Structure 1
């Protein structure tokens, strides 16, 4: 194994870790030596992914967590350190939202989208930074979205929340990198995950057709994003902090 990507002895928390990109990232990190704590609201997908990670010979723990709740974020970090002894990597992957016109969003829905996609990154990153700063080393990887870089009237609250994630990534990197904790983000394009596929099917859109808008002509796979997470989580990116990497299959005919 290339030593730059070797995560032996490191412990990662991954939110949204039971399905989609979170699951893909968890498996990739485990394959490269990390022990993994998975967090999300639903315990069943977490337990399934835990078994897959344990089959790889790594330690794994499922901690059902509402990442919009600051106390539960702190409890998640405390449980990780207590049960696995340390915390080296945080992957903020929990998120999502439905799509509809700007005028159709209620105040409550706006607040929910921002709490899930942006508030969770704010609260959990600050909790995780505690043990990382104490040990003088750590990596935080925020899963953002291509929506944060585009004008998307059908997903305005989601796009705004993810643009906030990009901004927080830079601010946290500026605060913590000199102390050993790097912070980066990945703005993902259309990836074959239940959150995207289910929403497209609800609108009567063939998910596969969305993939044809990028240069690769297909949807991304969760493990492909997982390898981007591996780069930012590992020493391979030791000179990289405060960056947002756009992983979207390449610019399509419109140059986007």
Structure 2
């Protein structure tokens, strides 16, 4: 159940983030939307409020290390508490080790992993004070297995999986649950960056051939599992890495 819960979603203005924000609101949550696209953020907030839930858009670049404290402070001032954090913000840069610059490596680690750590650190105190809370990290099926041509991204998501496990153990006594979802290729704008090819249809067909269920995931399919992990229905789950990958990691 998510009725009345206050949920922060990072990377909320696109793809899985926006789909998750809408899913949370549909299930009765009020949502703090964090992102860089002001136009899309305002539109999404208006859509959520039109559905009868409350929404707050906070423009922020999570490469700014001061952003998490500002986001949490604004969220607490507006809503009074924080029940759920969805660490979804991420970037993808393709390349093998010999093709990856130090700047590219540092950027991926800082956004994909560092921002999740800093956002989690910022919400721990208010969640601990309430003796309850849920953090859901959006990792990847590439956190569970190797892949070609995206070494920095894969390593960042594997590290996020370990961050999930460690935070779950460290904060279970605080009433805070920490889990991660590990989605496969999903039909989002990031998919266009992940693979080169002759157009979107070609990419979708190529990717579908690698997934046992024969297609890429839809955003709503990923969002529903995130919402479950955030909800009280997952009350006995912490430290879990949940593949939502059409059977890919079972191969």
TM-score by length of 2: 0.95
Partner of 1:208: 204
What per-residue deviation string (whole Å, max 9, x for no partner) do you get for residues 134-180 of structure 1?
Answer: 11110000000111122223010000000010000011000111211
TM-align CA RMSD? 1.4
Instruction: Give ranges in structure 2 of 5+ residues lacking alignment.
Output: none
Structure 1 runs of 4+ aligned residues shifted over 6 Å read: none
Q: Which moved further from structure 2: 209-218 or 80-89?
A: 209-218
1:170 aligned onto 2:165: yes
Separation in structure 2 between the aligned mates of residue 218 and residue 26 of structure 1, nearest angstrom: 24
Superposition pairs of residues 1-256 of structure 1, within 5 angstroms: 5=1, 7-200=2-195, 202-204=196-198, 206-209=202-205, 210-251=207-248, 256=251
Helix, strand or coil at the partner of 1:30: helix
Helix, strand or coil at the partner of 2:139: strand
Separation in structure 1 between the aligned mates of residue 229 and residue 155 of structure 2, nearest angstrom: 23
Separation in structure 1 between the aligned mates of residue 178 and residue 169 of structure 2, nearest angstrom: 9
Separation in structure 2 between the aligned mates of residue 174 and residue 250 of structure 1, nearest angstrom: 28
Q: Indicate conservation of the 8 Å contact 1:15/1:93, yes or no.
A: yes
Helix, strand or coil at the partner of 1:153: coil
Structure 1 position 203, deviation (Å): 4.2
Q: Indicate conservation of the 8 Å contact 2:93/2:152, yes or no.
A: no
Q: Indicate conservation of the 8 Å contact 2:184/2:248, yes or no.
A: no
Q: Indicate conservation of the 8 Å contact 1:145/1:187, yes or no.
A: yes
Instruction: Give ranges in structure 1 of 5+ residues lacking alignment.
Output: none
Separation in structure 1 between the aligned mates of residue 159 and residue 96 of structure 2, nearest angstrom: 20
What per-residue deviation string (whole Å, max 9, x for no partner) do you get for residues 216-255 of structure 1?
Answer: 2111111111111111111101000001101101248xx5
Helix, strand or coil at the partner of 2:66: helix
TM-score by length of 1: 0.93
> How many pairs align?
248
Change (3 A) 1:20 1:62: same
Q: Which moved further from structure 2: 108-117 or 66-75?
A: 66-75
